[in-house]
């Protein structure tokens, strides 16, 4: 008798064989019997409790192929309690069978200790079906969830995410505010400019740095004067990043303040001011830049020379 003529009932009996290898092979044989395999649903479902991980995983894949939503409760159980290798597969199959029921587990999964679970959850939550659930999750009590959701929302390039992300600039958690600022910069919506400018006054340094980066990404010159104002602050990281951002915006209003900033007490600030002046292309900066050729910090002196070469090339080309 050939393999294809084995009675299906006989084949099903192999799912309870003491050998895990036989159980796995039986699952594969059943799934090749396209016209009969749906009959194996109850037996395959029982294998989600199999003590052998590979058998359980094979059963999960088979249930995904059968595409029977009755498997959802058992998949939730597998996601919650099975091993680290089984949980991502259970979650992925749960998404396939019933996306709506999967959403709470996806939201939990984005902060899971298992990196594979986090990847499955993040990928699934980028689906257009998830937008309402993601926005609702921005009110989650756990800041880690809000932070992860903000990251996913911002990567969707969906205008519906803008207002919820703007609201997160006032979140009690600094990490959440910082992620929201970064994502707003990536979305490129003009209505984010004013909220981001207000966020330049955030009490957390990292948030302010991320706001500066976001404003540089947006490229709106209304940020020039507020960025210049940061040179009067006491935080050298903020001043250095403001200089960098002004170099990216390339607005002539920044030339004189940047020239003054070449005398900043902090080497990184001087270095980025020199770089920005090279980007701005105003030859008035050549002599002030030359004064930095003897700076005690090599990186500053090198950047000043490079910027000077950039500016002198403009004179030569004229």
In the chain the domains, ranked by start, together with CATH numbers, are 128-218 (1.25.10.10)
User: How confident is the model over 17-25, as a mean pLDDT?
Assistant: 94
Q: What percent of the chain has pLDDT over 70?
A: 97
CA 230 to chain centre: 28
pLDDT at 164 over 60: yes
Band (273; pLDDT cuts 50, 70, 90): very high
User: How confident is the model over 200-218, as a mean pLDDT?
Assistant: 97
pLDDT digits (tens, 9 = 90+) for 31-82: 999 999 999 999 999 999 999 999 999 999 999 999 999 999 999 999 998 8
pLDDT digits (tens, 9 = 90+) for 86-141: 999 999 999 999 998 998 899 889 889 999 999 999 888 887 678 888 888 888 88
Look at phi and psi of residue 209 and say left if phi exceeds 0, alpha if psi is from -120 to 50, else beta: alpha
* CA 125 – CA 113 distance, rounded (Å): 17
* CA 56 – CA 34 distance, rounded (Å): 21
Measured over all CA atoms, what is the biggest interatomic distance in the chain, rounded to whole angstroms?
94
Stretch among 123-127, 226-230, 237-241 having the lowest mean pLDDT: 123-127
pLDDT at 155 over 80: no
User: How confident is the model over 154-178, as a mean pLDDT?
Assistant: 90
User: How confident is the model over 208-229, as a mean pLDDT?
Assistant: 97
Q: What is the chain's mean pLDDT, rounded?
A: 93
Band (318; pLDDT cuts 50, 70, 90): low
Band (2; pLDDT cuts 50, 70, 90): very low
pLDDT at 5: 72
User: How confident is the model over 14-27, as a mean pLDDT?
Assistant: 94
Token code pair at residue 102: 């999967």
Band (238; pLDDT cuts 50, 70, 90): very high
């Amino acid at each position: 008798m050939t393999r294809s003529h084995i009675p299906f009932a006989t084949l099903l009996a192999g799912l309870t064989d003491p050998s895990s290898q036989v159980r796995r092979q039986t699952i594969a044989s059943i799934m090749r019997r396209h016209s009969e395999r749906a009959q194996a649903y109850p037996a395959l479902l029982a294998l989600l409790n199999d003590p052998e991980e590979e058998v359980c995983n094979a059963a999960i894949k088979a249930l995904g192929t059968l595409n029977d939503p009755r498997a959802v409760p058992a998949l939730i159980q597998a996601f919650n309690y099975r091993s680290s290798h089984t949980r991502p597969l259970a979650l992925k199959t749960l998404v396939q069978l019933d996306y709506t029921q999967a959403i709470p587990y996806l939201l939990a999964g984005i902060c899971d200790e298992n990196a594979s679970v986090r990847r499955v959850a993040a990928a699934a939550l980028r689906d257009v079906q998830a937008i309402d659930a993601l926005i609702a999750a921005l009110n989650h009590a756990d800041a880690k969830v809000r932070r992860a959701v903000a990251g996913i929302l911002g990567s969707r390039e969906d205008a519906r995410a803008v207002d919820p992300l703007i609201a997160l600039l006032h979140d009690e958690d600094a990490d959440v505010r910082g992620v929201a600022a970064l994502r707003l910069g990536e979305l490129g919506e003009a209505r984010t400019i004013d909220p981001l400018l207000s966020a330049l006054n955030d009490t957390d340094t990292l948030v302010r740095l991320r706001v500066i980066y976001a404003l540089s990404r947006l490229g709106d010159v209304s940020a020039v004067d507020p960025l210049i104002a940061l040179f009067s602050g006491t935080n050298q990281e903020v001043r250095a990043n403001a200089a960098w951002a002004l170099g990216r915006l390339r607005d002539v209003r920044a030339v004189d303040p940047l020239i003054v900033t070449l005398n900043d007490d902090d080497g990184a600030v001087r270095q980025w001011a020199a770089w920005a002046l090279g980007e701005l292309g105003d030859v008035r900066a050549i002599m002030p830049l030359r004064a930095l050729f003897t700076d005690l910090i090599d990186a500053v002196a090198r950047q000043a020379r490079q910027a000077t070469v950039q500016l002198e090339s403009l004179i030569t080309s004229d």
